[in-house]
Amino acid sequence: MVLSSMSPHSIDPAANLRAISEDLNRALKEAGRKGGIVTITAVTKKQNPARILPVLAAGQRVFGENRVQEAQEKWPALREQFPDIELRLIGPLQSNKAADAVRLFDVIETVDRPKIARALAQEMQKQGRRLKLLVQVNIGEEDQKAGVSPREVDAFLALCCEQYGLKIDGLMCIPPADEDPAPYFALLAKSAARNGLAELSMGMSADYAIAAQLGATSVRIGTGIFGPRS
Ligand SMILES: *Cc1c(COP(=O)(O)O)cnc(C)c1O
């Protein structure tokens, strides 16, 4: 990636997407993940529609936002032009926003406590919508990060299923900054495999290739596509 040497004017999001896609294919091949597919979630927080449109024009359809309200302001209009968009919530969810989130998003990657699990189950029932759900794991057990502790993942998944009748599709994590992410990605992959979960959302702009080698099924890329956020 050559972003550091580029001024904001010369950032070409569509070209960045192509380069990332090639990196991912190479990583899959190196890791022997034959037939593996890694979905790129283009993270559009703090990006305005004018910056998102070229990426849509280039064919990108999966997008991530970390705030419900910001997503509500941007995406309904873009969806009218591009109805086949898949929108993923990758930031923390408050239970009083569960109804809005279920209405707007297709995937919620940040299920992280019983109250949210219950609110999502109720709202999906009420709206007759079934979203794909991932549990966020606080993989480095950091105080400042959201997510279920790695030691409590199995019990939380059981609770979601037995108590709320929720089908959880996978796990998501953000490893500690400034550390080798590989052991954390490996731990998340192991937790998912142990629980029979297919989806692994891990890897961001700095470490998506490592995540792909270790089993990611989706990577969440913001600055690597759009350049620095304003
Ligand atoms: C912002 C964000 C990303 C994207 O980060 P980049 O380093 O810009 O690629 C990925 N995941 C989550 C949860 C985020 O909030």
Question: Strand, helix or coil at 44?
Answer: coil
CA of 221 to the centre of ligand 1 (A): 6
CA of 12 to the centre of ligand 1 (A): 18
Q: How many angstroms separate the CA atoms of 83 and 106, rounded?
A: 12
Query: 204 in ligand 1 pocket by Cβ < 6 Å?
Result: yes
Query: 88 in ligand 1 pocket by Cβ < 6 Å?
Result: no
How distant, in Å, are the alpha carbons of 7, 25, 60, 191, 230 from that of 18? 19, 11, 10, 31, 23
Length in residues, the chain: 230
Residue 9 is predicted with a pLDDT of: 54
Query: 90 in ligand 1 pocket by Cβ < 6 Å?
Result: yes
How distant, in Å, are the alpha carbons of 202, 205, 213 from that of 19? 18, 12, 17
What is the enclosing helix (H) or strand (E) of 109? strand 107-111
Residue 185 is predicted with a pLDDT of: 98
221 Cα nearest atom in ligand 1: 9
Burial of 2: CB neighbours in 10 Å, binned 0-12, 13-18, 19+: exposed
182: left (phi over 0), alpha (psi -120 to 50) or beta: alpha
pLDDT tens for each residue of the chain, 230 residues long = 445 445 555 689 999 999 999 999 999 999 999 888 999 999 999 999 999 999 999 999 999 999 999 999 999 999 999 999 999 999 999 999 999 999 999 999 999 999 999 999 999 999 999 999 999 999 999 999 999 999 999 999 999 999 999 999 999 999 999 999 999 999 999 999 999 999 999 999 999 999 999 999 999 999 999 999 87
How distant, in Å, are the alpha carbons of 32, 107, 188, 191 from that of 174? 24, 17, 10, 15
CA of 46 to the centre of ligand 1 (A): 11
Q: How many angstroms separate the CA atoms of 31 and 159, rounded?
A: 34
Q: How many angstroms separate the CA atoms of 191 and 179, rounded?
A: 20
Query: 43 in ligand 1 pocket by Cβ < 6 Å?
Result: yes
Q: How many angstroms separate the CA atoms of 22 and 15, rounded?
A: 11
**R_g over Cα of the chain:** 17
206 Cα nearest atom in ligand 1: 7
| Ligand 1, atom 10, residue with closest C-alpha | 220
66 Cα nearest atom in ligand 1: 15
